[in-house]
Structure 1
Amino acid sequence: MKSLRKYTIPFSGLKLGKHRFDFDVDDSFFEAFEYSLVKKAKLACNVELDKQETMLILNFEIDGWIGLTCDRCLTDYEHPIHIREQQIAKFSAEEVDEDDEIITLGKNDHEIDITGLIYEYVTVAVPFIASCSGDGSADKCNKEMLDKLNALSGSDDDKNEATDPRWDALKNIK
């Protein structure tokens, strides 16, 4: 986790107003998370920190690509990512339960760790069905692999055509 130390922003010495921080997110970032969906990535994370008297407003812009495997043809491809998110961190003297929308910082805190936020934003941006053709058509998929998969799935259909005679008797009940 020491390699992730660079994803902290020291805010205690900053003046009130907006400040910009740039981070590179690559494969080594996601290696720190044991069960990460993302294994390969090349992302540029730009964070605009707006420091105010009682809170910090963090605006995230994450652009680049993540490496995924196509669910249709099993080809590895680079999926483009464009993320725009905002996180609010509030200064509070008393201890408050963590909220998903607002991070609470104590009076002794002098930096904010954005590792978890970056990881969460990128993981949520992973598509439910990964396809190397973004429009959902199989035009860009590996034709050779699709032909092999279709041939294998066709042989299973032949086996399923011979049904159990008990089921045939049940169909006659209708």
Structure 2
Amino acid sequence: MFFIKLKHITFALLLTEKVKELSKYNIDIYGLEDKQYDYDMESGDAFFEEMEQDLIEHGQFKTHVTLNKSATMIQLRFHTEGSVTLACDRTLEPFEEPIDSDERIILKFGDHNEELTEEIEIISRNTNRINVARYVFDFIALSLPVKKLHPSLRTEEDEFDLEDDEEEGTLVYTSGETEEGEEGEEEEKIDPRWEALKNLKK
């Protein structure tokens, strides 16, 4: 009986800690004047545990949130710095990955809640409080490299990436305007004697 009671108490404490951790990211917007506000938030492992995800287990970061409120919308800018622990895709060894993210979200006032794009959402005019924890996590996740490689393996990988980028740049990203510009420059550099020979050939 004592063990069951102790288990319930432990569960209640964990639930309280979870609420407390995520409550750091509550922003009361009811009654805010139309101007800029600044908020500083800091978290560690507990944050990633409570976000119910399996991408990041450990990390430490600080986030500065700039909120600009107007009559029709709220603009939020998130600047996050810190580091997280990731597992290398090749060796499965853990390594520290620095975080430096600068993103924004726009919340427009309306009569319902809806996500329009990745950057724009509609929130009800009657919303009193917003919790920005999910935005912070999403922006941290977006700042991470697609290929999670230990720093000691990145030199070789970067060389492959550069080669791929050069091939793609030549075949895919060259625009007609650039080609015309390059041809114009080449014509200007042609020796006049070669130009004369070209006319004779015609």
Aligned pair partner of 2:74 in 36, 43, 56: 56
Secondary structure of the structure 2 residue equivalent to 1:34: coil
Q: Give the partner amino acid of 2:51.
A: F
Q: Secondary structure at the match of 2:39?
A: strand
- Look at both structures and tell me which one has the larger radius of gyration over its CA atoms: 2
Q: Which whole-Å CA distance do the structure 2 matches of 1:104 and 1:122 have between them? A: 22
1:125 paired with 2:139, answer no
> 1:104 aligned to 2:122?
yes
Q: Are 1:95 and 2:112 an aligned pair?
A: yes
- Secondary structure of the structure 2 residue equivalent to 1:29: helix
Query: What is the TM-score when the length of structure 2 is the normalising length?
Result: 0.62
TM-score (norm 1): 0.71
Residue 66 of structure 1 pairs with residue 91 of structure 2: no
Q: Distance in 2 between matches of 1:97 and 1:61?
A: 24
Q: Confirm or deny that 1:21 pairs with 2:39.
A: yes
Bigger fraction of residues in helix: 2
**CA contact under 8 A between 2:27 and 2:129: conserved in structure 1?**
yes
In 2, the alpha carbon distance for the partners of 1:96 and 1:8 equals 18
SS at match of 2:151: coil
Matching residue of 2:15: none
In structure 1, how many angstroms separate the alpha carbons of the residues matched to 2:97 and 2:37?
Answer: 30
| Per-residue deviation, 1:59 | 0.7
Q: Matched residues, percent identical?
A: 28
Q: Which residue of 2 aligns with 1:6?
A: 24
Give the alignment's Cα RMSD to 1 decimal: 1.9
How far does residue 13 in structure 1 lie from its aligned partner after superposition? Answer: 3.1
SS at match of 2:30: coil
Cα displacement (A) at 1:135 = 7.2
Displaced runs of 4 or more, over 6 A: none
Which residue of the other structure, out of 71, 84, 89, is the alignment partner of 2:102? 84
Deviation string 1:88-138 (CA, Å, 9 cap, x unpaired) is 01111x225322332222122111111111111112222222122177137
Q: Which runs of 5+ in 2 are unaligned?
A: 1-17, 157-202
Tell me, yes or no, if structure 1 residue 42 matches structure 2 residue 60.
Answer: yes
Secondary structure in 2 matching 1:35:
coil
Q: Which runs of 5+ in 1 are unaligned?
A: 139-174
The CA deviation at 1:72 is 3.2
Alignment map for 1:115-154 (pairs within 5 Å): 115-133=133-151, 136-137=154-155
